[in-house]
Amino acid sequence: MSNGSIVTEFLLLGFSDVRELQILHFVVFLVLYLVALLGNLLIISAIAIDHHLHTPMYFFLVNLSLLDLGSISVTIPKSMANSLLDVRSISYSGCVAQVFLFVFFVSGDVALLTIMAYDRYVAICRPLHYERVMNRGACVHMAAGAGASGLLYSALHTGNTFAVSFCGSHAVAQFFCEIPQLLKLACTDSDVSENGVIVFSACLVFSCFVFIIISYVLIFRAVLRIPSQQGRRKAFSTCLPHLTVVSLFVSTVFFTYLKPSSGSTSIPDLAAAVLYSVLPPMLNPVIYSMRNKEIQVALRKLTRSRLLTKN
């Protein structure tokens, strides 16, 4: 396309032109998507059914699972459909929607993980004030605030990305509409915009990460003062899954955006995109179900009730 032409669609280059590899990509992504879907739905169902888990920590965990379901559903199904049908196109409006929704869900994840760290801080360091501080109204307002900040952040990023004019082949060197790859297709030099997006995103994640680290430093200090070894173990067990999820999320995002990227489709760029867009939503339910005994009990109750219903 020539400069100044109206963009009606983009081409997602994906992983390969070889038909056999496209089918393999479809199968692998289908398995990953189903694992993420099943894991998050099980977490949501177990918490909804078990009234003992209707606490602020598990309320935020349900919201985290919903955001994870949204983020992985924005990118994976379209990529699977393209591989299965041997097509590459995505409409301009579809690309805008994909960018907006993906950034919304991921930024909501960051905000929610920060709120969950604050929840653990209040529960362990200020236990006598926990019910007053983390009451139902406060939890709903915090979750709504995470959603509102995600919407604002996503609107700013999406507006900045699609305010530029696109030229050339309109081929996105990725399996979904990723902002850095889209900015490489701009008619004008987009280095400033791209660097601005990366710096702004890194600062946001880093500031949230610093808040989480400070919260956990105070938590660990309080836990070490607990005289009972069983009490210390219980306190650590409630914090470890969240800390593991935060570490996984931050490490994948920083690895992706701090590495040098190429202008053409490359295996490292594709692998990095899979790392931060697919891995956290898939592994978060596994981490929480493996390290949290209350979730394990709730999942067993859910499975048992389903089996009894069938019988």
| Domain layout of the chain by residue ranges | 9-298
pLDDT, tens digit, for every residue of 176-228? Answer: 998 878 888 887 665 565 666 667 777 787 888 889 889 988 988 888 887 77
Percent of the chain with pLDDT over 90: 32
pLDDT in tens, 34-67: 999 999 999 999 898 888 888 999 999 999 999 9
pLDDT computed for residue 135 by the predictor: 93
pLDDT, residue 303, reads: 78
> Is pLDDT at 2 greater than 60 in this prediction?
no
Mean predicted confidence (pLDDT) in 240-245 = 81
| pLDDT at position 232 over 90 | no
Mean pLDDT over each residue of the chain, to the nearest integer? 83
The pTM (predicted TM-score) of the whole model is 0.86
| Average pLDDT estimate for 117-124 | 91
Stronger pLDDT, 1 or 284, i.e. the higher one = 284
- Please report the sign of the dihedral spanned by the C-alpha atoms of residue 69, residue 75, residue 78, residue 82: negative
Q: pLDDT value at position 137?
A: 93
**pLDDT at residue 112 above 50?**
yes
Residue 262 has pLDDT above 70, yes or no: no
The CATH-assigned architecture of domain 9-298 is Up-down Bundle (1.20)
Highest mean pLDDT among 23-37, 151-165, 266-280: 23-37
pLDDT tens digits, one per residue of 129-172: 999 999 999 999 999 999 999 999 899 889 888 888 887 678 88
Per-residue pLDDT band at 27 (split at 50, 70, 90): very high
Residue 28 has pLDDT above 60, yes or no: yes
Confidence check: pLDDT of 4 > 50: no
